[in-house]
Chains A and B, each alone.
Chain A
Amino acid sequence: MANPHITVMGLTMAYGDFVIQHDLNFTICRGDVFIIMGGSGCGKSTLLKHLIGLQSPAKGEVFYDTQNFWQTDASERVSIMRRIGVLYQSGALFSSLTLSENIALPLAEFTKLSRVEIQDIVSYKLALVGLAGFEDYYPSEISGGMQKRAGLARAIALDPEILFFDEPSAGLDPVSARLLDDLIINLRDTLGTTIVVVTHELASIFAIGNNSVFLDADTKTMLATGSPKKLLAESSNPKIIQFLTRGEGRAV
């Protein structure tokens, strides 16, 4: 269990002089489903950008295993980045490629599989996210929720070690959202994938999360880290309780 995969130490994030969050400290262990929570605009997506190498910290460190992500040379960083898969908040599919080409792209670039095998894997990944048969559609021809799921299929194309999801269930119907949770748990259980999720979906948070961090926009720092269930049961911070109970307070 206690096998740290990503460690964040004293991280301060800023756009120019504008500090978004300061002094973040938490650890994501191997096989965790780690939830990043907090109100809208508190810096969850920004934190994700720091973890996946799109934005460098104003201060502090991010460690992958024992490697200092932002201090190693660029080629090391790229090799770490190749081990992760990301689902962006807006899907970020390549608009001029079909779904099948979108998912086949990383497979064709980074493996030696034949075209037929790649095509089979593409169909399998699309089936996993509930999009069987949509291979030849362009992203502009499918709905927002479907784009999200296609983005997920692309993120898991290479069976990455670590998966980052930015609001995966936003825009999905409850049944699809539930299937997505099942998929996340399944990926973790079968492939041992470490999963980091930004989400507001309370049902998901409690169903899949076994570790989390709570960011606050007012104090601009984290308020707590730990299992969401434990936070709900034990936290004394009214903001966290409000968030985890949709503002209704803890049942007594």
Chain B
Amino acid sequence: MKPIETTSPQASVGAVKLIPTDDLAVSILQFSGDWVKKATIGGSASEVIAELAFKQKPHRLLLQSGDLTAWDSRLPTCLIKIGDECQRLGIDVDVAGLPEGVQGLLKLARAVPERTGARRSEQGKPMLTEVGKAVLAAWKDVQGLVYFIGEAILAGWALLRGKARFRPVDMLLCIQDAGPSALPIITLISLLVGLILAFVGAVQLSMFGAQIYIADLVGLGTVREMGALMTAVIMSGRTGAAYAAQLGTMNVNSEIDALKTMGISPMEFLVLPRLSALVLMMPLLALYSDLMGIIGGALVTVSAFDVSFLQYYNETRRAVHLSDFSVGLGKSVVFAILVAVAGCMRGMQCGRSASAVGDAATAAMVNSIVYIVVADSVITLICSRFGV
């Protein structure tokens, strides 16, 4: 009995043959040739089983290795399949004619019997079941959101009473990450948005010679709407998804379990610093974004539409009031909470696998954008009702 040859050049062949004997109650199953993974095998376990069950119907099956030249896991695999079937059919199997190594492996494979109830049957479910499951999952999602918000409010209350347990240095890192580090991309996007707004307005307004009102359009558009909205969208992709991935990975590594057993609330320790960092930083970023947007608008108007910088500046000051700023800032605080909640919630609810972390990051991003747009519409509606 040779061990497997890993580098045999010629194509190898193996075969299994069921041989009846003079005694009707006994059959011989003979294995010959190469039983390795890259060999072609003549005959298969299922053919043998079919023949045993329907044709020969012996009481005893002698397993023998004829001129077996080489074998690997393929042989025991086939033997186990046949053995299981024989047990079901009530046929005695005699393995004494097999190489000792194979007998040893077979014994090992049977050493730990299958745990009852462990196996899962994968049957197709009727469609109604799937629909029901989807609805239940959605309902659970809503419950999860409510639960999470409740927990977050409790943690926030603990923070206000000065009883929240978290490391200030974590908070500083989060602030650094959610604030100054985001400036470059906010600068770029806001400038371009201001530019685009100016161009869109200019095409119409310059027809009436009213270019000066581009300043009104850009100023109000950015301060009331675009500044807060664009900042929130950028932060949901940049920071919200990162929160989901961080917390999700911590969940995969049981780090969140470890915090819980230490008696530290993950809500206070992990979520609170992230949430407060975003709530503190997003309004500032939105203000900065407003400034950049107005500068972007000014660049276009001054360079292409025959308005001086001073005129543009004065017109903007006339058009944009403090109340407009407060609307924009109010929105950005709301958006900050939504982005942080979506990111942290998805992270905390993350499953325990690599793909679950990816799903959590995606879900965090998608959810926060949906929340942002819905909240924005609601706030805009309320503002117009009250004439703010």
Give me the interface of A with B, judged by CB distance under 8 Å. Answer: 83, 94-96, 107, 111-113, 117, 120-121, 123-125, 127-128, 130-140, 156, 158-159, 161, 179, 182-183, 186, 189-193
B354 interface residue (CB < 8 Å to A): yes
User: Smallest CB-CB separation from B358: which chain A residue?
Assistant: A96
B370 interface residue (CB < 8 Å to A): no
Q: Closest CB-CB distance, A76 to chain B, in whole Å?
A: 14
Q: How far is the CA of A132 from the CA of B81 in the complex (A)?
A: 13
- By a CB distance below 8 angstroms, the chain A residues around B146 are none
Q: Is the CB of A133 within 8 A of B114?
A: yes
Q: How far is the CA of A91 from the CA of B379 in the complex (A)?
A: 51
Interface centre among B3, B101, B354 (most CB of A within 10 A): B3
Q: Is the CB of A189 within 8 A of B101?
A: yes
User: Smallest CB-CB separation from B79: which chain A residue?
Assistant: A124
Q: Closest CB-CB distance, A108 to chain B, in whole Å?
A: 12
- By a CB distance below 8 angstroms, the chain A residues around B261 are none
- By a CB distance below 8 angstroms, the chain B residues around A158 are 37
- By a CB distance below 8 angstroms, the chain B residues around A130 are 111-112
Chain A binding surface, main DSSP class:
loop
Q: Is the CB of A186 within 8 A of B101?
A: yes
Q: How far is the CA of A244 from the CA of B352 in the complex (A)?
A: 39
The one of A128, A140, A192 that contacts B3, using a Cβ cutoff of 8 Å? A192
- What 5 A-B pairs are tightest by C-beta distance, nearest first? A190-B101, A192-B3, A130-B112, A95-B353, A140-B352
Q: Is the CB of B354 within 8 A of A95?
A: yes
User: Smallest CB-CB separation from A111: which chain B residue?
Assistant: B37
Given known pairs A159-B72, A191-B3, the reply for A133 and B119 (CB within 8 Å) is yes
Q: Is the CB of A139 within 8 A of B353?
A: yes
Given known pairs A124-B73, A159-B4, the reply for A95 and B101 (CB within 8 Å) is no
Q: How far is the CA of A159 from the CA of B71 in the complex (A)?
A: 10
Given known pairs A96-B354, A127-B109, the reply for A189 and B104 (CB within 8 Å) is yes
Given known pairs A96-B355, A182-B108, the reply for A121 and B73 (CB within 8 Å) is yes
B158 interface residue (CB < 8 Å to A): no
Q: How far is the CA of A161 from the CA of B7 in the complex (A)?
A: 11
- By a CB distance below 8 angstroms, the chain B residues around A193 are 3
